[in-house]
Amino acid sequence: MPEQVIEKPVAPVARRSGRKPGKSGFGVWVPRLLPYALLVGLVVYFTARSALFLTPDNILIILRSSSVLAVIAFAATLVIIAGSIDLSVGGIAALTGTIAAYLTVEGHPGAIWVALPIGLVCGLLNGALVAYAKLPSFLTTLGVLFILNGIALRITGGASQLMDNELLDELVNGASVLNIPNIIWWAVLVGGLVSVLAYRTPFGRYVYAIGGNERVARLSGLKVERTKLLLFGLSGLLSGVGGLMLIGQGSGSSPGMGDSFLLNAIAAVVMGGTALNGGSGGPLRTIVGVLTLGIVTNGMTLTQVDPNYQTVIFGVIVLLAVIVTVRRAETGVVK
């Protein structure tokens, strides 16, 4: 239900000349900068607490450990902008990774790329159920998550698989450009592509339109169902990419390796300032969320916080980040 719109004397009317668009007051910018401020605050804090924190090596460690989450969170961002949610991202990453590792162990290291079409198909399945069967995305993707996790477990019998895949190892762990690990470049590449898609293509704008008001989008003649189908397909495909990165990083698969991504991806997206109601935010903002999570995890380990407390502190940081990023004025009713 839309908020009650209160008639105000329509603010300074720019009928003739007018203010430049985007020129807004201090009050608009402070909340927008708060997530960055939190990020900087965390960096300053951990730098003060540990000499090891702000070193080139450690920065690369943070970036490397955030890369998979970044790729999966980018995918989740677009789905959330459209007002849906994809809970199966971690499940798809786990399944595709497990299959690719299995194929390598079975002697088909070249067949790992099948992870991508499998991810795509899983995503399209989500999309078809949400867009055409009109099932709520939360429950659909939750169901698919269970199914995929189950299949992944079935393939390995619940055991970890160690693999040696030279090609994947080089692609993920090599450092061919500027001595920066390739896995980081992959995350940057995916982030760039998703950002271009979101901000600079009609498809991206349709995603925002659907999240803003699906009825308006439909009556404006937008292909709502097809857009949603493709969107979930993309989410699945990128989760497949994430799955490959995951096994490349860990040199094998383990049961439950995708589990942490479900909630971390959503947390990263929301911490960046993309509202769960849809229609606002964007992939570039998600980077802030991903980095915040990566820095907190890394910093707590460096400063030797009791592992039992780490989850609690992690939760507090997530709440703080959400408090500073949720732009209440923009989202209207908060659910």
Partner 1 sequence: MTMTFPGVKALTEVSLTVGAGEVIGLVGENGAGKSTLLSILSGSLRPGAGEIVARGRTLHLHNYAQANEAGIFRAHQDQGLIDNLTVAANLFLGHERRFSRGGLLQHRRLLAAARRQIQADTMLAGRVSEIDQVGDLPLDVRQLVEIARAFAVAELLEVSRPVVLLDETTASLNQDEVTELFAHVRDRRDRASFVFVSHRLNEILELCDRVYVLKDGVVVAERKVGETSEAELHRLMVGREREENHYLEDRRRTQFGAVRLKVDDLSSGDEFHGVSLDVREGEILAVGGITGCGKSHLARAIAGDVRASGTVEVDGRRLPNHRPAARRGRLAFGPLDRHAEGVSLLQSVRWNMTWSSLRDHSRGPFLSPRREKRAVAAGMARYRVAAPSMDTRVGALSGGNQQKVMLARLAGSGARVLVLDNPTRGVDVGARQEIYGHLRDLADAGFSILLVSDDLRELIGMGDRVAVMRDGQVVREWESRGLTEEQIIVGMV
Q: Using CB under 8 A as the criterion, which residues of the chain lie in contact with partner 1 when the complex forms?
A: 1-15, 18-23, 196, 199-202, 204-206, 208-209, 212-213, 215-224, 279-280, 330-332
Q: In the bound complex, what is the minimum distance in angstroms from residue 202's beta carbon to partner 1?
A: 4
CB closer to partner 1, 212 vs 250: 212
Two structure tokens written together for 23: 């020129």
Q: Identify the helix (H) or strand (E) that includes residue 253.
A: strand 252-253
Minimum Å gap between C-beta 52 and partner 1 is: 43
DSSP classification of residue 162: E
Long-range contacts of 301-309 (CB under 8 A, 24+ apart): 302/46, 302/49, 302/50, 302/52, 302/53, 302/58, 303/46, 303/49, 303/50
**Of 56 and 221, which CB lies nearer to partner 1 in the complex structure?**
221
Residue 88 CA to residue 86 CA, distance in Å, equals 6
Shortest distance in whole angstroms from residue 283 CB to partner 1 = 15
Q: Which is nearer to partner 1, 211 or 236 (CB)?
A: 211
Structure tokens at 169: 């190892």
Q: Closer to partner 1 at the Cβ: 3 or 306?
A: 3
Q: How far is the CB of 69 from partner 1 (least distance, A)?
A: 28
- Provide the minimum distance between the beta carbon of 222 and partner 1 in the complex, in angstroms, as a whole number: 6
Q: Which is nearer to partner 1, 10 or 178 (CB)?
A: 10
C-alpha angle 15/20/25, rounded to 5°? 110
Dist CA 9 CA 18 (whole Å): 17
